[in-house]
Amino acid sequence: MFARAMQSDSHPILAQVVPIRRCNLDCGYCNEYDKTSDPVPLATMLARIDRLADLGTTIITLSGGEPTLHPDLDAIIARIRERGAIATLITNGLLLTPERIQRLNRAGLDYLQISIDNARPDEISKKSLQVLDRKLEWLAEHAEFGITINSVLGSGIRKPEDALAVASRARSLGFTSTVGILHDHSGQLQPLGEAQRSVYEQFLRHKDSLFSFAHFDSFQQNIGRGLPNDWHCRAGGRFLYICEDGLVHYCSQQRGKPGIPLENYTVEDLRREAARPKGCAPFCTISCVHQTAMLDDFRERPRETLAGILERRREADPSFRAPAAVRALSWMFLDPRRRGFFGKLMLAALGIKNRASSSSR
């Protein structure tokens, strides 16, 4: 994924695809489900996977609704892998069983994410650690794919300290743990209260690694404080959201923009929409869009981006010592005397002749 992102600026890094809008839960804060929709027919889903692959998409994530309700989910995952993309799944986890996990193994799933909202179920959310803990144990025992457990903070979450309990349990089972901040119906931030900010600061001190999905301090800290972020959103180009009707949207919270059928989406559309300023960007909380933007920041400004990552990590944890590989990157690229020489070697290793030629692909 990283090498391809460095080679080209005109292919999608990540696409989220909805195979079914229906969900078996009705969480009080969610606007991404209904109770009646039929699954998208398998032939239609396979055609959409093929089109995304033709556009060069690196990661294809199946979301919803609840994607495990789709009767042909395994065949869809297998097609993603056949077309050379990374296959990931966002699920509430309720339908997972040892047999279902083994089927996901055989289909070739790469990563799975579950968001757990609280320690015990309440009227807002049944996605609780109490309900899902046995499912997590089955995943730890049977899954051959990577697993991320996402804790949640924000409006509607009554006990913010539950996020720490969820993260602790996830780490004890060997999973990656992240934290997300709930947004409103348009994907915009809702500032955290004092107790929630305290929990978030504790979470940052226990991040798994420098480049884990938990590492978006500058974005998340501003979000928690109700402050804007200064960044360029590349949704519509580097990140795509494909609804059940097959339309391309910026994200799950900005549906209708640009609203072009995926079958008609072109490289010119990718470039135009990636370059287009988005008015919703300063107060956006959609972390997967931030992640793709971070890759492009590294592509365009590797020295500044790496230095900023290290600086923010040390601010969060003064005792932090970067892994050996990161120290090697810093030695090679953050010193101006060495940057030019090693930069040429790295570009050659990635097959990049120069920025102009890679941008034209």
Q: What are 22-43's pLDDT values in tens digits?
A: 998 888 777 788 888 999 999 9
Distance (Å, whole) CA 77 – CA 89: 9
Of 73, 50, 286, nearest to 181 (Cα)? 286
Of 213, 131, 130, 137, nearest to 179 (Cα)? 213
Higher-pLDDT residue of 100 and 125 is 100
Query: For position 261, what pLDDT does the model report?
Result: 98
Distance (Å, whole) CA 81 – CA 88: 10
Residue 287 clears pLDDT 70, i.e. is over it: yes
Lowest-pLDDT range of 81-85, 96-100, 127-131, 300-304: 300-304
CA-only gyration radius of the chain, Å: 20
> Mean pLDDT over residues 51-67, rounded?
96
If you average pLDDT over every residue of the chain, what do you get?
83
> Mean pLDDT over residues 280-299, rounded?
84
Q: Which amino acid is at 261?
A: P
Task: Report the predicted TM-score, pTM, of the whole model to 2 decimal places.
Answer: 0.83
Four-residue CA torsion sign, 154, 159, 165, 170: negative
Query: For position 187, what pLDDT does the model report?
Result: 46
